[in-house]
Structure 1
Amino acid sequence: MNYWQEAIDLLVGGNSDVWAIIILSLQVSGLALVVSAIIGVPLGSLIGLHTFPGRQLVIAIVYTGMGFPPVVIGLAVFLLLSRSGPLGFLGWLFTPSAMVLAQVILALPLVIGFTMSAVLAVDPALRTQIRALGASPTQTTLAVLWEARVGVLVALIAGFGGIISEVGAVMLVGGNIQGSTRVLTTAIVLETRKGAFDVAIALALVLLGITFVINLALLQLQGTLLKAK
């Protein structure tokens, strides 16, 4: 069977279920990445630019988080959001909100770690020069971030790649409910278990295609930023 043709038929054939899965995948991972960037880029900058008690411990925790198994994160979020958990009152379990939370926790260490590395790679003399010109701490941080912008973009690419392709966490906290919390990765698992390998492979090709297009766009942006240096 031509699985490429199967993937095309799923997309252009107006299959509403498939499009709902694709849209939800992009919404969940996109929102998780935005939240991770809002939190992670400033934190990565803070860790990279400042010395404080316990800094080495924080860095060790970040590095550990970068390799944390997604299914463990899913279990932790499940327990947090369960009825008997401390966040059970939110009623997020088996909803897209729970999936976003799990993916934020997964992406955050990646964004923080790569941002920190990018900031540390900036010549320390630049900070000294900026401060000598009378820049405030905030202005200094922004200037360093701009200099490290390519590395920050790599942090976002790594964060997105880590969450769009994971399955364990979103399946645990989302439940893989059709029309509600089913995303591409969990749909692929379901179709494989059903023996519908043609559909599973077609969905996998769709996932790979989406990932490729988004990463290609980010790489094009990276090239633009390199030329702007």
Structure 2
Amino acid sequence: MTEIWDGITQAFFLVVSFDPDLVSITGRSLRVTVTAVLIASLIALPFGAWLAVRRFRFRRWAIALLNALMGLPPVVVGLIVYLLLSRSGPFGVLDLLFTPTAMIIAQVVIITPLIASIAHQALRELWAEYHDLLISLNTTKWQRMQILLWDGRRALITAALAGFGRAIGEVGAIMIVGGNIDNVTRVLTTAIALETGRGDFALALGLGFVLIGLSITVNLIIHGLSRTEQEGRW
């Protein structure tokens, strides 16, 4: 019990003193994850809007597939990205394996279906409200998508934050494609796994505190935005 308390005390000191290793790892985690969320959102949000306003033969199947992809095993995603970026893979010439770019690619693949699915569900309800009005105004599909994306912006921010929450806590795919290289691809989750294996519980707990703090902050923001959205509808 004494060792655990000592580890927590040291971890708290590392956090409040802004330990250089902890700050570096946290900054790298945020850069990789925020970049992945921005790229995924640029893909997922328009796709969710398009899926809400577009009617086509296999639309139900497309929605079902999108929802199924939300549960993609991250380790499998990491393996596929690894094979694509390895020297023997089709994109090996780009030399991206074991770089932050490879980690961003893996995170984008993981969180894009999640963001798109949440966005589609929110925009589908909005489209049901605006359908008659937008049809009567003879708007194009692109204009309808733009209107939905703008009016549903709070829900879309929530979708992006949900993607951030999943990406920041990812370890399997990141470990495979990033390699957990010190000062290059080491992020919060992989560093926690490494330091725990080394027995450096103080640093591992410090990193864990930061990760928990980020997760709580994101969830509080999502909760606040969700309440604001609900109150706005009333």
Please, what TM-score do these two structures have when normalized by structure 1? 0.91
Distance in 2, matches of 1:20 and 1:66, equals 30
Which residue among 32, 36, 61 is the counterpart of 1:57?
61
Q: Which residue of 2 aligns with 1:207?
A: 211
Whichever residue aligns with residue 19 of structure 1, its letter is V
Taking a change above 3 Å as real, the CA distance of residues 78 and 33 of structure 1, as seen in their structure-2 partners, is same
For residues 147-226 of structure 1, the aligned pairs below 5 Å read 147-224=151-228
Which residue among 105, 108, 127 is the counterpart of 1:104?
108
Q: Which residue of 1 aligns with 2:34?
A: 30
Question: Is the 1:93–1:174 contact (alpha carbons within 8 Å) kept by the matching residues of 2?
Answer: yes
Residue 118 (structure 1) aligned with residue 122 (structure 2): yes
Task: Point out where structure 1 has 5 or more consecutive residues left out of the alignment.
Answer: none
Residue 146 (structure 1) aligned with residue 150 (structure 2): yes
Which residue among 68, 76, 79 is the counterpart of 2:83?
79
Whichever residue aligns with residue 92 of structure 1, its letter is L
Percent identity of paired positions between Structure 1 and Structure 2: 39
Question: Is the 2:44–2:113 contact (alpha carbons within 8 Å) kept by the matching residues of 1?
Answer: yes
Taking a change above 3 Å as real, the CA distance of residues 134 and 51 of structure 1, as seen in their structure-2 partners, is closer
Cα offset, 1:219, TM superposition: 4.1
Question: Is the 1:150–1:226 contact (alpha carbons within 8 Å) kept by the matching residues of 2?
Answer: no
Question: Is the 1:7–1:206 contact (alpha carbons within 8 Å) kept by the matching residues of 2?
Answer: no
Whichever residue aligns with residue 168 of structure 1, its letter is G
Cα RMSD after superposing both structures: 2.0
Cα offset, 1:49, TM superposition: 1.5
Distance in 1, matches of 2:209 and 2:100, equals 23
Q: Which residue of 2 aligns with 1:46?
A: 50
For these two proteins, the number of residue pairs brought into alignment is 229
Task: Point out where structure 2 has 5 or more consecutive residues left out of the alignment.
Answer: none
